[in-house]
Amino acid sequence: MNNHSDHLKETRLSIQGMTCASCVRRVERALAKGDSVTDATVNFASHEATVLHGPTISTDELVAAVDSAGYSARVIPSDPHAGHSASEHAEHLRLESEESKKLMQRNLLLSAILTAPLFALSMFWHPRPEWANWLLFALGTPAILWCGRGFFVVAAKAAWHGTTTMDTLVAMGTGAAWIYSTYALFAYSGHEQSEHIYFETGAVIVALILLGRYMEAKAKSRMSDAIRKLMDLAPKLATIVEADGSEREVPVSEVLVGMTVVVKPGGRIPVDGEVVSGESFVNESMVTGEPIAVRKTPGDSVTGGTVNEQGAFTFRAVHVGSETMLAQIAALVKRAQGSKAPLQGLADRISSVFVPVVIGIAAMTALVYVFSGRGLETGLLAAVAVLVIACPCALGLATPTALMVGTGRGAELGILIKDGEALERAGRIRSVLLDKTGTITEGKPRLTDIITFGTWTRTDALRIASALEAKSEHPVAKAVLQAAKAEDLQWEEPTTFEAIGGMGVTGDVAGQKVSVGKPDWVIGSELTTPKIAEAVENLESQGKTVFVAKAGGDVALFAVSDVISESSKEAISLLRQADIEVVMVTGDNHRAATAVAQQVGISKVHAGVLPADKAQHVQAYQEKGSTAMVGDGINDAPALAQADLGIAMGHGTEVAIDTAGVTLLRADLRGVPQAIRLAIATLGTIKWNLFWAFIYNIVMIPLAALGLLSPMLAAGAMAFSSISVILNSLRLRRFE
């Protein structure tokens, strides 16, 4: 590559026409030849290229370089001010992917319609009348040449550029079967030899490979949704305050730094800023992952995309467009997704050496037969047998069949594996980083403790507190009311009610003056009473939020916490037994994080971690070995994408799930060690399938070259090879 370090520019291209790993290498080589290009990385999963280059090469020249390699490309636009180009491009890719899948589905359906009767007639109708062979020709020709046209086109392009791909193997095998069968049909019409036609061989190969490609496309189809859903969290419109005090609704892209923006109850905050007037509680779970809303007063910062749960306030825009935290999270996700995958497809690596060897053996076989005086026809039959026996059907089935069964079994167990790359990475995990909220814990604040002092019973305290909390909009009040409703409690309406911002609520209930709120506000110096002080300290040491209800001499302590999931401790124990390091990385405070970690058996804790820093922590552990990140919130999306394997809990946000390679539908952390074990089992099956398919070819090709196998026997051997691969893959159905 050319080395120019000054004024480097990053250009992203969308690449069309890639079908395997060797395509990636070819595009990278073509781009790297460009003047002032310092780095060119192509991601096969996203079909995008990232090119670092100097000013001496234009984007048109980069596109032309891709075109010269036999593919097509277009520049992905970037608008540093609007911050929405990623979302728009992701949506465009999604629509393209859906259209491509529809075309593949139609082609697969046509292939199945033609191949089913062709296979049945060929296998079970012997001897056949002459006209039946022409029927097989009529069915087999479109099944091979039309339904499999994509293989032939890509193979031809690869040959034009002096290379081979898996499509070369498919084209060679199916093409050889069709050419030989057509030759036999026309040359020996009316003779016994015309029975020896193998249109079904090529047709079945095409159908099975098309099925595998369609399954792969379905697995990748949701990839472009992550950025779009992330950016959709930001509202499209914002209400700004004009100089004369009037309000005007404008597109978010028109909001500039310094403008005053109004946010009403229930609305999403459009950009990052600082509160100027008013106060409210804002749900910042997309940033912190924590479910309890945070009180905002003048001077506090607010983040674009977060939800204003109550009250109206105005704020001054500080970060807009691509500078907002939401846009930066999207950029981090995109960057991690577009990075170079460490492994390429094993089958494609084999084919890069295997295909030329097979072609050479077939050619040499024919020549040896001709020059030894055994005749062109005999040599042609032996060469065709070599090509048919070397058909990549088993190679093509080795991975998709194991993936089908493995991922299907995973779905039955509540484990969704996004694609083969995620499964491959899951089998190599050495460290697992866990978010706290919604991963180790349930992600929903619940009332966990009520401790009474005085004459109140537990029920009395809950009933009286609920009377006031029913009037409150504070998020903690929801936990109190949920507990009261679960016990079917009834309460009197308060005759007076007052909410004290940031402190609590007070009012008259059943003739008593009742206050509910922060301990130091409700009971003040009485908090120093040994029993109360000890109880508060004990609850807070467990990472719980404590508030107090008081009426006269009666006092009750209420503790709200995000309860640890029942399966967490067992899951972490299973991971440690597998010699996998377990670490907690959370945005929560150190006291709450440490308390939870101690209860579940985690010794390493990183608390108070911001979204961007989570990805950095993942990178640090990646230096030690393959790392998995298990998360639940949008703030986890960059870390999920950065990790070798991202695992999202099923109740997490859509973005986190789409970014992750594995999703646990049952929100059971025990799914993490189970997913890793399933990945190891599936990978072992894939490797055994590939080993068998490769060894099969090594043994059978010489037999075919020696004339010991006719094309018919070669096709039978090929079918047996495929069946053995499928049966081996089906063993995964017994995985527990």
**Which whole-number Å values give the CA distances from 648 to 233, 327, 434, 676, in the listed order?**
19, 21, 10, 14
Among residues 167, 435, 562, 636, which one is catalytic?
435
Q: 326-349 as b/e, with b when 16 or more CB fall inside 10 Å?
A: bbbbbbbbbebbbeebeebbbbbe
Please tell me the number of Cα atoms within 13 Å of 460 on its side-chain side: 15
Q: Which of 100, 671, 130, 202 is nearest to 414 (CA)?
A: 671
3-state secondary structure (DSSP) of residue 105: helix
3-state secondary structure (DSSP) of residue 19: coil
Residues near 500 by beta carbon (within 8 Å), at least 6 away in sequence? 506, 517, 521
- Sign for the CA dihedral angle at 636, 641, 647, 648 comes to positive
Q: 580 has which bridge partners?
A: none
Q: For residues 491 and 22, give the distance between their C-alpha atoms in angstroms, rounded to a whole number.
A: 71
Contact 34/2 with Cβ under 8 angstroms?
yes
3-state secondary structure (DSSP) of residue 289: coil
Q: Which of 223, 574, 629 is nearest to 436 (CA)?
A: 629
Q: Tell me phi and psi for residue 238, to 5 degrees.
A: -140, 150
3-state secondary structure (DSSP) of residue 601: coil
Task: Please give the full DSSP string across 292-322, using - where no structure is assigned.
Answer: S-EEE-TT-EE-TT-EEEES-EEEEEEE-GG
* 435 in active site: yes
Q: 367-397 as b/e, with b when 16 or more CB fall inside 10 Å?
A: eebeeeeeeeeebbbbbbbbbbbbbbbbbbb
Cβ burial of 280 (10 Å; 0-12, 13-18, 19+) is buried
Amino acid at 728: N
Please tell me the number of Cα atoms within 13 Å of 427 on its side-chain side: 16
- Look up residue 365 and give its two tokens: 């076989």
- Sign for the CA dihedral angle at 347, 350, 353, 355 comes to negative
Residue with tokens 């084999």: 350
Q: For residues 496 and 489, give the distance between their C-alpha atoms in angstroms, rounded to a whole number.
A: 21
H helices present in 142-272, as ranges: 149-160, 166-187, 199-220, 225-232
The residues annotated as belonging to the active site are: 435
